[in-house]
Structure 1
Amino acid sequence: MLEEVDFYKEAANIEAFRSYLEAMGLTRQATAPKVYQHCSTKRILTMERLYGVPLTDLDSISSLVSSPETSLITALNVWFGSLLACETFHADVHAGNLWLLRDGRIGFLDFGIVGRISPKTWTAMEVFLASIATEEYESMASALIEMGATDKDVDVMAFAKDLEKIFSSIQDLDTELIVATARDRTTNATAVSANVVVDERQMNALFLDVIRVSESYGLKFPREFALLMKQLLYFDRYTRLLAPNLNMLQDQRISIVSNRGSRSRNTFR
């Protein structure tokens, strides 16, 4: 928590992400606010103001771009790419921090919470992600065992069955459609906007269920796994809202780079 309120560190996180976008030629697809260093201190962070809407504002998104699905794919590719290219990754991509900007780019906001991923965790995460996509729960269980520190012999089959019960419940997460109307007093025209709200408490409960069941088998995960899991749940909800026919872990338009050996770990920091 102390690191989260150190604005020098947050400014460094933002600049590293902006350097990544520039080096990868992604500045036309995504951005993060420019930091005004001369106006910033450890307790004050002065940044460029971005204009846009959260990735859950369906009505506004549809008015800004012709394909919300394409915008979501861009957000996924930029974020997944940062896992490999940057020393840290954005670890708080809820709708308030991930926007579609007026110019059509994806805006990443608030770098106060970031994660650092180790080679061991990433290798296991790749197997874990693949197993989610294919619903191979034994592989999922094995990947989680690889990530978790334990001195116990884990019953993989029993663990897999418990995980299957949890992930089946993702389909049951609730969304609420909020419709707002506004009347123009001069033209008497009525504008209608819609915004989808995801029950974040349900998402957190799902995540905690995975941790709880894993701990019941003696597993203790590194913080980076918890952060990655939560971001994937956020992206899962955006996918269901903006591109319900998209499988974010199997679609070939989404790049989850597997060659970690090619990563220059300290290039963007």
Structure 2
Amino acid sequence: MKSISKFKRYTKVIQVLSRYGFAEVLDRILPSRERDNGAGAETDPQVPSGMYKRIRMAMEELGPAFIKLGQLLSIREDILPPELIAELRKLQDAVPPEPMDIKALLEEQFGIRTEEHFTVIEAQPFASASVSQVYAATLQDGSRVVLKVKRSDVEAVVNADVSIMKDLSLLLEKHYTSIRNMNLYRVISSFGLSVLKEMSFTAEAANIQNFRRNFKDDTRVYIPEVYEMYSNNEILCLEWVEGIKINDLEGIRAMQMDPRDIVTTGLDVYLRQILDFGLFHADPHPGNVFIDKKGRLIFLDFGSVGQLLPSDARILENMMINFVFRDPKGLIRNLKNIALAYSITNEKEFERDVEDLFAYVKELDLQQLMVRDIFDKLNKMLQTNRIVLPDAIYLLLRGVALIEGISKQLNADLNIYQSISPYVNKIAVKRLSFDNLKAYGLQQARSVLAIADMLPEVLATWMQQVKDQEGKNNADVAVRERMTRIYAGAGNKIAVSILAAALALATASMIPAAGPWPVQVWVSGGLTVLLVLVLLVMILRERR
């Protein structure tokens, strides 16, 4: 079934691309047999002449996977020209609803009689997109809900389309250097994983539960409840929430709220998602963020979320510190640490570019400082040095840019530099806290102890290398003796490091949550400090 679906979709894709004027590209990259699948499709004389506009229109016609790919690429200003970015941002995901018997579908999916569970189920959806459509309903207890229903066969189509995209990207990279430099195949492979996860209503329900748990004590935020009894991978039943869009300036004023407070809260909540939880809403546009009468931010649509590794979150914190304190070398170091790949041909020039960025920030009046301008300069540096960041970083940068766009619509004058400065202070306090230092020390100690597992094999390799020197001529004797001394010294330092790490681990585990420290802690801690000093002396002697 999947191969038939892919064959049919190949034909459709070739026909659509040909009609929008890309037959010449297809002739260059596709074997004649596959080109013939779409034979008969000629360029439509009615299509616009602009290439970027034709790309956008073709993606809209080809449906959900291509639309979502276009939306993803619209944030990749580091690899695409600005004119194409502008067109991709116009991509529309609104399509006519699919005829569907929602009551029959509910009964089939959950084995229920709808009249026993619902008093009202609207027959027509009030919203319709390429992946799903949404119905209003009311439960027997009077609770108003929304039913998000997946379109039929959408997953099979998207699976086929992602496979076709991968095929086409490989062919494009083979024939076009500019496409190869974009790492298009890697981008599409990553996109394929994310779009399938985004279409999973089971995953979206789990995302909602995680966000509800993260913000359960934050009175500024509200996340709608999931009704698990009526939710699975085909249907998602959610609490109905009332509110106005976050960019509704007149509505905000009517509720006597200050737009600047709303934008400041929005950015702070978003930073909490990123840095405190490592799980953030990847698409916080005005259609997904509302404000209720209590002034709370209501987040909707959790199909697309970004997730950060703890190590990446720490590097991001470092980069915020570098930005606030204008530390170019630190920013470059952390960019390298978080990058998936980079090719910096001129380190000095790269450092000068970063210094120019900081000078630009310093010279501007704080009210003139715009996130978009900073990102434009940063993207040029990324492109020049072929720095590839994790997908989550591009998503969060887009999220921050969307928040700044909302602030402009509300005339709230968001200044990113001023806004993140207090967060940097929080980071400093958090990192200097006893619990954090203890946790970080334990982590580093475990890392050192992990090296101990490899030590026997490493030492065996070293000894074998020494033995391999035996039997050679006398000219190699000095080299052999020097190698032996180096290995012996390194082995001693590793042994001392492992012992110090083990003592540090033991010390940390004995520290009580409250009250005075017992004698064992002081003894173990003292021995740890002593071993660290011994290690430092060994290193200094070796350098002499």
TM-score, scaled to structure 1: 0.69
1:135 deviates by 5.4
2:385 maps to 1:217: yes
8 Å Cα contact 1:13-1:111 kept in structure 2: yes
Corresponding position of 2:205: 11
2: CA distance, partners of 1:76 / 1:37: 31
2:271 match: 80
Which residue in the other structure is 1:181 paired with?
none
Decide whether aligned partners of structure 1 residues 244 and 82 sit closer, same or farther in structure 2, where only a CA change above 3 A counts. Answer: same
After TM superposition, list the pairs within 5 Å mapping 1:250-265 onto structure 2.
Answer: 250-251=421-422, 259=431
Which of 401, 412, 425 in structure 2 is aligned with 1:243? 412
Change (3 A) 1:172 1:225: same
Which is greater in Rg?
2
Distance 2:204 2:268 in 1: 22
Unmatched tracts of structure 2, length 5 or more: 1-194, 441-544
* 1:198-255 Cα distance to aligned partner (Å, 9 max, x none): xxxx96x985774453143132211121122111212233344453164211246996
Match of 1:48 among 233, 239, 254: 239
After TM superposition, give the deviation of residue 107 of structure 1 in Å: 0.7
- How far off is 1:136 after superposition? 5.1
Please give the alpha-carbon distance, in whole angstroms, between the structure 1 residues aligned to 2:423 and 2:276.
20
In structure 1, the partner of 2:220 is 29
Q: Which of 317, 333, 336 is the matching residue for 1:145?
A: 336
Q: How far did 1:5 drift?
A: 0.9
Equivalent residue, structure 2, for 1:92: 283
Using CA pairs under 8 Å that are at least 6 residues apart, name the structure with larger relative contact order, 1 or 2.
1
Q: Note the alpha carbon deviations across 1:133-184, whole angstroms, 9 max, x for none.
A: 45555543343222213464554442355465698799697xxxxxxxxxxx
Q: Compared with structure 1, are the counterparts of its residues 210 and 245 closer, same or farther at alpha carbon in structure 2 (3 Å cutoff)?
A: closer
What's the counterpart of residue 226 of structure 1? 394
Residue 31 of structure 1 deviates from its aligned partner by 0.7
Take 1:49 and 1:114, find their aligned partners in 2: how far apart are those partners? 21
Q: Kindly tell me: are residues 42 and 245 of structure 1, through their superposed partners in 2, closer, same or farther at Cα, counting changes over 3 Å?
A: closer
Q: Tell me the secondary structure at the aligned position of residue 298 of structure 2.
A: strand
Matches of 1:49 and 1:212, distance apart in 2:
43
For the 8 Å contact 2:336–2:342, the answer to whether it is kept is: no
CA distance in 2, matches of 1:73, 1:50: 23
Alignment match, 2:254: 63
Figure out how many residues of one structure are paired with residues of the other and give that number.
Answer: 231
Q: Distance in 2 between matches of 1:242 and 1:160?
A: 35
Q: In structure 1, how many angstroms separate the alpha carbons of the residues matched to 2:321 and 2:331?
A: 8
Could you tell me whether the CA contact under 8 Å between 1:39 and 1:46 is conserved in 2? Answer: yes
The sequence identity of aligned pairs, in percent, is 24
Greater percentage in strand: 1
Q: Distance in 2 between matches of 1:254 and 1:46?
A: 41
Deviations 1:84-128 (A, max 9, x none): 443522121122212222221111111111111123322221232
Change (3 A) 1:157 1:119: farther
The 5-angstrom pairing of residues 163-202 of structure 1 reads 164=356
Distance 1:84 1:123, change over 3 A: closer
Question: Which residue pairs with 2:302 in the alignment?
Answer: 111
| Shift, 1:68, TM fit | 2.2
5+ residue gaps, structure 1, are 174-201, 264-269
Q: Distance in 1 between matches of 2:314 and 2:233?
A: 35
Q: 1: distance between equivalents of 2:424 and 2:385?
A: 36
Q: Distance in 1 between matches of 2:274 and 2:351?
A: 27
Normalised by the length of structure 2, the TM-score is 0.37
User: C-alpha displacement at 1:7, in angstroms?
Assistant: 0.6
| Alignment RMSD | 3.6
Look up the equivalent residue of 2:269 and give its one-letter code. Answer: V
Distance 1:87 1:226 in 2: 14
**Larger helix fraction of residues:** 2
Deviation at 1:53, TM superposition (A): 2.2
* Maintained 8 Å contact 1:76/1:254: no
| Closer, same or farther: CA 84–249 of 1 in aligned 2, 3 Å | closer
Q: Is the 8 A contact 2:230 2:236 kept in 1?
A: yes
Q: Which residue of 2 is the match for residue 191 of structure 1?
A: none
